[in-house]
Amino acid sequence: MLGAARHTGADMKTILAEKGLDSHGANWQERLDAVGADDVERALAEPPGSYRLQRLSALISPAAEDYLEEMAQSAHELTVQRFGRTIRLYAPVYLSNYCTNACMYCGFNRENKFERTRLNIDHAIEEASIVASEGFRDLLLVSGEDRQFITVDYLAELAQRLRGKFSSISIEIYQMSTAEYARLFEAGIDGVTLYQETYDRNAYGYYHLAGPKSDYDHRLSAADSIAAAGMREVGLGALLGLTDWRAETLALAEHAHHIIKRYWQSHVSFSFPRLRPAYQVQETQFSPFSDRNLVQMMTALRLCFADVGMVLSTRERAALRDNLISLGVTKLSAGSRTSPGGYSGRTEATGQFQIDDNRSPAEVAAMIKQRGFEPVWKDWDKAFQDPRTI
Ligand code: SF4
């Protein structure tokens, strides 16, 4: 399985460079502005779920804003056809807010001065047990880049001790090698989410001032490493609000297309993290990204990728999340705490960002039912693939 590591980030680097998507210059702006109503209608008439960069360009163009209702209806139908009327629920557990990076948009930025917190393995299990007692069987472990304490050994032991309680354990942690991901897969971690944050090389340099994450090309190779290790789920995303969202959507789609083509065993999902207020972060420095932009981005991607998962977190406000679940979302977080120790309340640690949907998991589940969908707490896909997990 590790042999697939021959597909390195260089492939992705070349793809983006050849299409001019590693810089969001005037080139793409002009092409998107030149899209007309006829182009959008032709794109909408193409078979649902078919991806071509040109088709996606038409669907995310300014001209397609007049077709949002039609796009939303088609995205809804396609999602129900492929996923049924189900929404998976998950919860994050934060392990550490130490970080060696200096990302300008994040409260955990190493330059920010506050008392940092790390959970030892017993405390992490206590947090995860609270999440399990609320009904969740899908767990996301999150941490800043704290390699000294949140080591691969730590994560492997934690996963081994938690795997009986959860049907799926995934991580959103610092970038690792294929061999390290493979070790975690063996220990029971089956998914990794790692955002490029921005595909625009210049903007990437501007926002990532220091630390291992400041290497754009290395970051771009992460999804290949994750998939080459055999991970079942590879989560991709761009942090919305850093640069022009339309160009980011095109680059994100090319990234997904690249992974889907090369790694048959991995399922790709998109997240839509929008910048949120965070400790010592100035909101005024970010690009605008409206709710309508989010709807257009989600529905356009769904129309081009019928089978990808779509994840929406509690960064978004409740009313918007309620409306978006019928447009392509397949997975929602609920009742989230974004600080280490946030569920047990045994620490008063600083969170990564502010959440905007403060409802309890039970309230979110009730809302999903009210909207005619079924909340799913357990990852049944995995159970069907591996009978030992039932
Ligand atoms: S975004 Fe991640 S890597 Fe960057 S400062 Fe925050 S926790 Fe650290």
Per-residue pLDDT of the chain (390 residues; tens, 9 = 90+): 343 444 444 589 999 999 999 987 668 889 999 999 999 999 999 999 999 999 999 999 999 999 999 999 999 999 999 999 999 999 999 999 999 999 999 989 999 998 899 999 999 999 999 999 999 999 999 999 999 999 999 999 999 999 999 999 999 999 999 999 999 999 999 999 999 999 999 999 999 999 999 999 999 999 999 999 999 999 999 999 999 999 999 999 999 999 999 998 999 999 999 887 777 776 656 778 999 999 999 999 999 999 999 999 888 888 888 999 989 899 999 888 888 999 988 666 666 666 678 889 999 999 999 999 999 997 655 554 554 343
Strands 168-172 and 138-143: parallel
Candidate of 101, 114, 146, 280 to mutate for ligand 1, largest count of ligand atoms within 8 Å of Cβ:
101
Phi-psi region of 211 (alpha: psi -120 to 50; beta: other; left: phi over 0): left
CA distance 276 to 105: 8
Angstrom distances, CA of residue 87 to CA of 52, 204, 269, 299: 27, 33, 14, 16
- What per-residue confidence (pLDDT) applies to 353? 64
CA distance 307 to 354: 30
Angstrom distances, CA of residue 224 to CA of 171, 175, 249, 290: 16, 11, 19, 31
Angstrom distances, CA of residue 313 to CA of 18, 82, 94, 273, 373: 33, 21, 14, 7, 17
Candidate of 97, 105, 109, 176 to mutate for ligand 1, largest count of ligand atoms within 8 Å of Cβ:
109
CA of 145 to the centre of ligand 1 (A): 7
Candidate of 95, 108, 174, 175 to mutate for ligand 1, largest count of ligand atoms within 8 Å of Cβ:
108
The ligand 1 site (C-beta within 6 Å) comprises 99, 101, 103, 106, 108-109, 144-145, 213
Residue 384: burial class (beta carbons within 10 Å; 0-12, 13-18, 19+): exposed
CA distance 195 to 244: 16
Q: Phi and psi of 163, rounded to 5°? A: -65, -25
Task: Report the candidate in 174, 25, 189 with the shortest Cα–Cα distance to residue 106.
Answer: 174
Phi-psi region of 165 (alpha: psi -120 to 50; beta: other; left: phi over 0): alpha
Secondary structure class of 132 (helix, strand, coil): helix
The per-residue pLDDT for range 355-387, each reduced to its tens digit, is 678 889 999 999 999 999 999 997 655 554 554
Cβ-contact 78, 302 below 8 angstroms: yes
CA distance 248 to 238: 7
CA of 314 to the centre of ligand 1 (A): 18
Secondary structure class of 158 (helix, strand, coil): helix
CA of 208 to the centre of ligand 1 (A): 9
Task: Report the candidate in 369, 373, 375 with the shortest Cα–Cα distance to residue 334.
Answer: 375
DSSP E strand stretches across 134-248: 138-143, 168-172, 191-193, 233-236
Task: Report the candidate in 68, 10, 26, 87 with the shortest Cα–Cα distance to residue 258.
Answer: 10
The per-residue pLDDT for range 15-24, each reduced to its tens digit, is 999 999 998 7
The pTM score is 0.93
CA distance 86 to 65: 28
> What is the 8-class DSSP label of residue 310?
E
Residue 63 amino acid letter: A
CA of 93 to the centre of ligand 1 (A): 15
Which atom number of ligand 1 is nearest to the Cα of residue 143?
Answer: 7
CA of 171 to the centre of ligand 1 (A): 14
